[in-house]
Amino acid sequence: MKSLFPLILFLSIFIIFSSCEQLNDTLSDKGTSKTMEFKPIKVNYPETYKDSTIVDNYHGTEVADPFRWLEEETSAETKDWVKAQNQVTFGYLDKIPFRNSIKDRLKKLWNYERYSTPFKEGGRYYYFKNDGLQNQAVLYGQDKLDADSELILDPNQFSSDGTTSLGGIAFSKNGRYLAYQTSAGGSDWRSIQVKDLSTGEMLEEKLDWIKFSSISWFKEGFYYSRYPQPSEKEILSGASEFHQIYYHKLGTAQSEDDLIFADRSNPKRGFFANTSEDERFLSVNVWESTSGNALYFQELTKGDPSFVPIIKTLEHDFNVVGNLDDNLLVMTNYKADNNRLIAVNSEKPEEDFWEEILPESEDKLQSVDIIGNKIFATYIHKASSLVKVFDTQGKFLDNLKLPAIGTVGSFSGKKAETNGFFSFTSFNRPTSIYSLNTETLEYQIFKTPEVDFSPDDYVTEQLWFKSADGEEVPMFVTHKKGIEKNGKLPTLLYGYGGFDISILPSFNLTRLPLLENGGVYAVANIRGGGEFGKKWHKAGTKGQKQNVFNDFIAAAEFLISEGYTNSDKLAIEGRSNGGLLVGAVMTQRPDLFKVAFPGVGVLDMLRYDKFTIGRAWAGDYGLSENPKDFDYLYSYSPLHNAIPAKYPATMVTTADHDDRVVPAHSYKFTSAMQASQQGDNPMLIRVETSAGHGAGKPTDKQIDEASDLLSFMFYNFKENVIYENEVAQ
């Protein structure tokens, strides 16, 4: 390690049961009544070394960082710390009597066939399917929709424990070759391999050090993005710099790949390559943060290697969604906070010649798909999906009448074919797949799951509440029909609030045990997200970030004032930027919540930009190196606002291979909070091994984590969990 300090001494870890007066609660579920003793479980936290010599000066303000040594994730000291913390956490969880009951219920719920939206490549149909408890979904193909299917690729064979997952895939235009990305242990790092589908054989080539990349075919090869090979020490935490686009020709070594696009003067910039369906155009998005990009294109049929700019600045979003002859169709928020669709002529790409196809509307334009020579435009209307259909000139034809209020997940189909597919889900509806006739706009169920759960027994309402500044904010609330609002319902409030990301209705298996046991699941569509366009997003960024936290606090207060719950029965959860949300509100209002789950969170707001892709988040957060930014970052940074107080029962979650939001955020925050906890509520951290930020996490790890979070929540609510014909141990 860079700094010297004494070796950390870890005493043996054990769980002590309190001898305080027994607490009793009764819960009756499905006709079964059981009185259970809730004994507060005390824990002995590992002794965490504080290095008092680490003090930074930010524009005249001295800020101590005593746990910086935990940023060295590969050091022996950090590994020992993680091991000791996990011993405490899992020792605590082992004492919860209904933990296994919840896990068994989740396994039963999870065990159903799940399908992806089918798509057509090279004249064949392909889809992903999970039989139920498979760690990874399997890719199948078939010549016709009613033909027998053939196994194409089984990611469960990538590793014995299911921790190597499948990333992006792409088929060559003729359908012969399948190129696909794999990720080991949940890392953002990818490798690309190629399978010859005509023979079933794998090609010899393997491309490495790929991150934030597409696979875009052109002729006998493809474009992809990569970083230079990092040192061993920097693989999981080093800053990501000098992204570049290469072209790989099949049958050649990666060292022979052609460099296509790079920017040596701007090492923080990234590049995303995409070829059009007809392989006529190559477009390149140039990005430096999560918002805004430049856009260039190359007409591949001309053989000219130069790139033509459509926009050179990074102030707005420009994304190519397809092409119609000479015109590139581009969705943008330039001069349109809610997005619009424009046509850019490849011969005259200057702004004066842009043609507006779909003007901005009151609803945010979320995505555009061209199927059957029609434009299927998916909008966000009051935080749920609305699909409008237009001809290719932008003339409105009709709305696609959706099955219910919910979310369209994805469309698939070819520009010149009249059949397509789309997926649909909501809070109490598992994802179903529909086949679509683009001429009549009629659709029918293609695949619908059979889950051990009755959707009709539950209801979702959209409610509106006022935030601290009077802004009206929506929230979805899901619960059993006919439930009595007695102010005591176990409630989980979820939020995100950042990066223009919209949190729309979706089915989540991990919420079902809460709903089945008379609980409430609430999702607040707070500012910082993209539900209501760019203004809604910007209202929760940089100096206005406190709006996000105020909205979430107001959502919690609303649930209490409306008689759903109280502070002893209210839990909050968020992941990534949502982990920041939870960390901020639990330090600002520790009295308001009983349980808190900051997951893979951005929790050190003064140093988040020092690791991997962190600097790309500056568009939302700002940077501590700037005096004005420092003031507001320091004011809410969860790590730096951990002061002595009585905090909620907390389980921080992270993973040892998370190279998106490095686990040091969670390590340091947990250490600070354990030192600051003045109450009896546990302050724990759960560190998953061989896992990353979340993508590709195997099914068994998802079930384990969900079981632990739910059992921790119910136990600290003093709520028993009993299923029919079961008695809690």
If phi > 0 it is left, if psi is from -120 to 50 it is alpha, else beta; for residue 470 that is left
Stated length of the chain = 729
Q: What is the DSSP letter of 71?
A: G
DSSP output for 189-255:
-EEEEEEETTTTEEEEEEEEEE-S---EEETTEEEEEE-PPPPGGGTTTS-----EEEEEETTS-GG
Return all residues near 346 (Cβ < 8 A) that are at least 6 apart. Answer: 281, 297, 299, 308, 326, 327, 328
Residue 560 and residue 566 in contact, taking contact as beta carbons nearer than 8 Å: yes
Catalytic residue among 423, 693, 707, 711: 693
Burial class of residue 357 (count of CB atoms within 10 Å of its CB; 0-12, 13-18, 19+): buried
Per-residue burial over 232-250, b = 16 or more CB atoms within 10 Å of its CB, e = otherwise? eeebbbbebeebbbbbbee
Burial class of residue 324 (count of CB atoms within 10 Å of its CB; 0-12, 13-18, 19+): middle
Distance in angstroms (rounded) separating the CA atoms of residues 268 and 266: 6
Distance in angstroms (rounded) separating the CA atoms of residues 161 and 697: 11
Distance in angstroms (rounded) separating the CA atoms of residues 239 and 32: 55
Catalytic residue among 172, 384, 576, 666: 576
Structure tokens at 703: 């079930």
> Is 237 one of the annotated active-site residues of the chain?
no
Q: Which residue carries 């237009």 as its tokens?
A: 390
Structure tokens at 198: 């005509």
**Beta strands per DSSP E along 448-490:** 458-466, 472-480
For residue 253, the Cα-to-chain-centroid distance in whole angstroms is 34
Q: What is the DSSP letter of 484?
A: -
Structure tokens at 309: 């700019």
Distance in angstroms (rounded) separating the CA atoms of residues 129 and 127: 7
Burial class of residue 486 (count of CB atoms within 10 Å of its CB; 0-12, 13-18, 19+): exposed
DSSP output for 99-117:
HHHHHHHHHHHH-S-EEPP
> Is 265 one of the annotated active-site residues of the chain?
no
For residue 255, the Cα-to-chain-centroid distance in whole angstroms is 33
Return all residues near 28 (Cβ < 8 A) that are at least 6 apart. Answer: none
Distance in angstroms (rounded) separating the CA atoms of residues 86 and 71: 18
> Nearest to residue 640, comparing CAs of 612, 665, 615?
665
Q: Which residues pair with 630 in a beta bridge?
A: none
Q: What is the DSSP letter of 353?
A: G
3-class DSSP state of 48: coil
> Nearest to residue 435, comparing CAs of 115, 27, 189?
115
Distance in angstroms (rounded) separating the CA atoms of residues 424 and 412: 13
Q: Which residues are catalytic?
A: 576, 693
